[in-house]
Structure 1
Amino acid sequence: MEKEVRIYIRIQKSRKGNWKKICSEKQISLTSLIIHSVENRIQDDERRKVLAFIEKQDNIFIKIETNINQIARIVNGQKFISEKELKDFLGKLSEIEKLKREQNLIFSRIYSLLGK
């Protein structure tokens, strides 16, 4: 493991205060802020947001899939689907399509950030 060294920089007290405020808001260290900014890498707080988003998306898809399975069970049992149930089903499919498009855009941004 490589030995860590200290780097001393000079900045105005007010600028340091601003940086510390940013760190406090993002719940990251000043070291992390500087290193990730200089190396153009994803910040720790952004990484947490990404993980929270992925978890939220997963939960939403599970709920939608459950609803779709319930509709499929009803249709298979009755060999019929009412107009209301069909509209609900198509709404769920539209919701999945919209969320998947949004998710793909976000994942593309994430990969571009991680690739830097």
Structure 2
Amino acid sequence: MNTEHRENNTIIFRITDQKKQEWQKICEARKISLTSLIINSVENRILDDERRKVLEFIEKQDNVFVKIETNINQVAKIVNTQKLISSENLKVFNERLSEIIILKKEQNKIFENIYSLLSK
């Protein structure tokens, strides 16, 4: 059980009205709070809007690989029913599979880096 008690404190600082309006426009455009902008900027953490964009990117990447895997399964099904594939087609197919394996490994490394950034 976490016994740590969090208290919210208030910090008051002065900025010009123009600067406050600029910051609020940034927050409005990014759909984040002014508090989030300030805290995450000071603590050098990824902003909430950037976190959302990264997660959307990850989801899109995953969808791309699902489509590729579906295509691979379709080719395998055709080959299994016809019981025949030319050596040239098999060579091309295996080359594509090798490329996909390499890309998937690279993607996983990128995702590990992204997750470590998101956890900050």
- Please report the TM-score for the alignment, with normalisation by the length of structure 2: 0.74
CA displacement 1:57-89 (0-9 Å, x = unmatched): 222111111110010111122222368966984
Change (3 A) 1:10 1:87: farther
> Counterpart in 2 of 1:12?
16
Q: Which moved more, 1:99-108 or 1:25-34?
A: 99-108
> Which ranges in structure 2 are unaligned for 5 or more consecutive residues?
none
Change (3 A) 1:105 1:9: farther
Task: Kindly tell me the number of residue pairs found equivalent between the two proteins.
Answer: 116
User: In 1, distance between residues paired with 2:118 and 2:60?
Assistant: 21
Percent identity for Structure 1 against Structure 2: 64
User: In 2, distance between residues paired with 1:53 and 1:80?
Assistant: 38
One of 105, 111, 119 as aligned partner of 1:107: 111
Structure 2 counterpart of 1:52, one-letter code: E
User: In 1, distance between residues paired with 2:23 and 2:97?
Assistant: 45
Structure 1 counterpart of 2:117, one-letter code: L
User: In 1, distance between residues paired with 2:23 and 2:106?
Assistant: 32
Change (3 A) 1:67 1:84: farther
> Which ranges in structure 1 are unaligned for 5 or more consecutive residues?
none
Structure 1 vs Structure 2 CA RMSD: 2.7
One of 54, 63, 68 as aligned partner of 1:50: 54
- Please report the TM-score for the alignment, with normalisation by the length of structure 1: 0.77
Q: After TM superposition, where is structure 1 displaced by more than 6 Å over at least 4 residues in a row?
A: none
Structure 2 counterpart of 1:2, one-letter code: R
The answer to whether the 8 A contact 1:74-1:81 is kept is: no
Change (3 A) 1:115 1:3: closer
> Counterpart in 1 of 2:36?
32
User: In 1, distance between residues paired with 2:20 and 2:95?
Assistant: 51
